[in-house]
């Protein structure tokens, strides 16, 4: 299968490309800084990098591809995020890309969504269903939710097969160093103490390798243009952030101390992000 991938030098995108190449797919990936990724994937006969921003991708670039896999996103926490730029890149540029993809003959679009789209709705559910109301907090989450809504309507209008895979708390090698798991690991391996909140937030923490398996499955699962696939991607196991931190702290045989409760919660913290995990059925015919 020929895949056009955005965000290929990002955390999840890099892992996806490695897995897709291993599965025998051929990829074109865009990046205006293709060597910037921590786990950069080198160009081969099966992977072609092109130097583009999202808004610079042309119909010619997209020709002869089967599926658009869209990971590129601006403002993922804890990186800075402004409202105008979030909506320009995550919504407007993304929608224009889908229009160009349809004109080039692509019939399937897979979007990397996020649990933060649910926002305050998440606290109303033991397990959040994929059709839960979207009540996001902040610019990034709001723009991701807006893209989900707009892309669903656009793909239905254009007759495209759409999958929106909402990732819960993904972690692993190559993640931005300011995120929780990399920061925790850095302190543990250095023998330093680590300060965190009380850690009572309940989430679903999914290794990145497991998360990208769902994107591979979505390449071939049956999807109707009239009924987009909207799926929550997690492990199905709920645990507190404190439990997650302690498990990894012990795994790394950390010599420092976990200072639990040393930091305040953030204004955008939601205390329960647990998904109703949606199985993705792969077409094996």
Query: What's the rounded Cα separation, in Å, for the pair 204 and 182?
Result: 17
Cα dist from 149 to 30, 97, 131, 144, whole Å: 24, 16, 11, 9
187-229 pLDDT, tens digit per residue, is 999 999 999 999 999 999 999 999 999 999 999 999 999 999 9
Residue 172 has pLDDT above 80, yes or no: yes
- Across the range 240-251, mean pLDDT stands at 97
Q: If we measure between CA atoms, which residue out of 196, 202, 183, 176 comes closest to residue 80?
A: 176
What's the CATH fold of domain 2-170+206-234?
Rossmann fold (3.40.50)
Query: What's the rounded Cα separation, in Å, for the pair 122 and 126?
Result: 8
150-171 pLDDT, tens digit per residue, is 999 999 999 999 999 999 999 9
Whether the link from the prior residue into 128 is cis, omega within 30° of 0, is no
- Across the range 116-143, mean pLDDT stands at 95
pLDDT of 35 reads: 46
68-81 pLDDT, tens digit per residue, is 999 999 988 777 88
Residue whose entry in the numeric block shows the structure tokens 């895979």: 165
pTM across the whole model: 0.93
- Across the range 56-68, mean pLDDT stands at 96
User: For the chain, what are the domain ranges?
Assistant: 2-170+206-234
Query: What's the rounded Cα separation, in Å, for the pair 84 and 124?
Result: 30
């Amino acid at each position: 299968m020929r895949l056009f991938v955005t965000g290929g030098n990002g955390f999840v995108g890099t892992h996806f490309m490695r897995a897709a190449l291993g599965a025998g797919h051929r990829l074109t990936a865009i990046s205006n800084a293709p060597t910037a990724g921590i786990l950069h994937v080198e160009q081969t006969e099966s992977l072609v990098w092109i130097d583009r921003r999202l808004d610079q991708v042309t119909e010619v670039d997209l020709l002869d591809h089967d599926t658009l896999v869209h990971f590129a996103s601006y403002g993922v926490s804890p990186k800075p995020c402004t409202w105008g730029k979030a909506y320009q890149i995550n919504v407007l540029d993304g929608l224009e890309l889908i229009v160009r993809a349809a004109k080039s003959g692509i019939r399937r679009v897979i979007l990397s969504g996020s649990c933060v789209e649910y926002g305050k709705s998440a606290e109303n559910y033991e397990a959040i269903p994929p059709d839960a109301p979207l009540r996001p907090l902040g610019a990034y989450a709001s723009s991701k939710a807006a893209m989900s809504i707009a892309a669903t309507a656009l793909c239905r209008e254009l007759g495209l097969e759409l999958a929106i895979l909402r990732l819960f708390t993904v972690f692993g090698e190559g993640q931005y160093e300011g995120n929780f798991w990399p920061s925790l690991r850095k302190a543990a391996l250095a023998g330093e103490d680590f300060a965190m909140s009380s850690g009572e937030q309940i989430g679903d923490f999914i290794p990145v390798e497991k998360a990208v398996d769902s994107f591979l499955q979505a390449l071939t699962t049956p999807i109707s243009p009239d009924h987009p696939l909207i799926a929550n991607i997690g492990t199905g196991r709920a645990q507190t952030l404190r439990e997650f931190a302690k498990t990894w702290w012990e795994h790394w045989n950390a010599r420092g101390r976990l200072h639990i409760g040393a930091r305040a919660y953030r204004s955008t913290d939601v205390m329960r992000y647990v998904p109703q995990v949606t199985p993705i059925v792969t077409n094996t015919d």
